[in-house]
Amino acid sequence: MKVLVTGCAGFIGSRVSALLSATGHEIVGIDNLSDAYDVRMKQFRVDNLLAHNSVEWVNSDITNNESVRALMSNIKPDAVINLAARAGVRQSIDNPWVYYDTNVIGTLNLLEACKEFGVNRFLLASTSSVYGNGSMPFSEDAHIEDLLSPYAASKKSAEDLCKLYWRLFDFDTTIFRFFTVYGPSGRPDMSMFRFVKWIFEEQSVQLNGDGSQRRDFTFVDDIARGVVGSLDRRPGFEVINLGSDRPVKINEVINEIEMVIGKTAIIEQHPFPQTDMIATWANISRARELLDWEPEISLEEGIKATVDWYKENRDFAKNIRL
């Protein structure tokens, strides 16, 4: 199958692209290497992706409608996996416009191009942030109204567009709500990368709140398996949580990293942001039933793999801007 993967230089996008290539699919990946975080990390992923996989990379921006149309006309893919996004809860407070440009307008451009060029399989990356502080474990059928940030609102808007295009144009659409994805070469604006770097380099760990907040940490390779495993489905419209089903306190994560690295964290505590969720916890019964999917990498294994990657790439990773 020929697949267009947007956001192929991203943390999840690069892993999904590599797994698709390894399983025999023809991949065209697009990414504009935005400065949402240190571009050197994105270039690192692209270089590794192209060096070890049969992937064509196009430097392009999904917010540019004409570029999207030209690319779709040229490629004529069988499916689109939209992993391009502007992510990050707190940053969306400062600049909500760029979040709506990428997450909403970018998704609309892709859906319109799919309609124009006859592509009717569409997969979208969404987020656990859409659940807000609702009742847990979060179920895909939950009524969503307690959005806490422009980021969450932009992703929910993208979901709504996908559902509309399914109804109007009969797209086969899968929306994934990812839960706190982490792993090697992870996003430097996320807690796991930061904790590992701060503890390894003996710098102060900037902790928001008292560390009792819980997150459903999910290893990136498990996420990639779930996405790739759903590609051949023709579901009509579906929303699927991908998470570990094991919420863990942030303090416990820090303790595990300390143990793996062999150093003690220097904690600098800050107030808990009102845009942050108190906890996340995925109900993954739908993923189990529809995809025969289970998270395979434990938190302990995943943290060790993340720390090992940092050690092996320390000369590069220690200079990445947080």
pLDDT in tens, 130-143: 999 888 999 999 98
Domain membership of residue 264 (yes or no) is: no
Domain of residue 172, CATH code: 3.40.50.720
The domain total for the chain is: 1
Angle between helices 250-261 and 299-312 in degrees, nearest 10: 50
From 151, 165, 182, 310, the catalytic residue: 151
Task: Kindly report, residue by residue over 14-49, the tens digit of the pLDDT.
Answer: 999 999 999 999 999 999 999 999 999 999 999 999
What's the chain's length in residues? 322
Domain membership of residue 157 (yes or no) is: yes
Please give the pLDDT value at position 124: 98
* Contact predicate 257/111, CB 8 Å: no
Which segments of the chain does DSSP mark as H helices, in order? 11-22, 39-52, 65-75, 89-94, 96-100, 106-117, 150-169, 191-200, 220-229, 250-261, 285-291, 299-312, 314-317
Domain membership of residue 124 (yes or no) is: yes
- Which amino acid appears at position 166 of this protein? W
* Total Cβ atoms within 10 A of residue 173: 26
Q: How far apart are CA 127 and CA 25, in angstroms?
A: 26
Domain membership of residue 233 (yes or no) is: yes
* Contact predicate 256/300, CB 8 Å: yes
- Whether 88 shows a pLDDT value over 90: the answer reads no
Domain membership of residue 22 (yes or no) is: yes
- Whether 231 shows a pLDDT value over 90: the answer reads yes
Please give the pLDDT value at position 275: 82
- Whether 53 shows a pLDDT value over 90: the answer reads no
Domain membership of residue 253 (yes or no) is: no
Please give the pLDDT value at position 54: 87
Task: Kindly report, residue by residue over 144-191, the tens digit of the pLDDT.
Answer: 888 999 999 999 999 999 999 999 999 999 999 999 999 999 999 999
129: pLDDT confidence band, cut at 50, 70 and 90?
very high
- Whether 90 shows a pLDDT value over 90: the answer reads no
Task: Kindly report, residue by residue over 260-311, the tens digit of the pLDDT.
Answer: 999 999 999 999 988 888 999 999 999 999 999 999 999 999 999 999 999 9
Tell me if residue 99 is catalytic: no
Domain with 286 in it = 2-181+218-243+280-297
Residues 106-142: b if buried by 16+ CB within 10 A, e if exposed: bbbbbbbbbeeeebbbbbbbbbbbbbbeeebbbbbeb
Q: Which residue carries 């590992």 as its tokens?
A: 196
Domain membership of residue 275 (yes or no) is: no
Q: Is 242 helix (H, G, I), strand (E, B) or coil?
A: strand
* Contact predicate 309/184, CB 8 Å: yes
Closest CA relative to residue 65, chosen from 115, 113, 9: 113
As a whole-number percent, the residues of the chain with pLDDT over 70 amount to: 100
Please give the pLDDT value at position 254: 98
Domain membership of residue 187 (yes or no) is: no
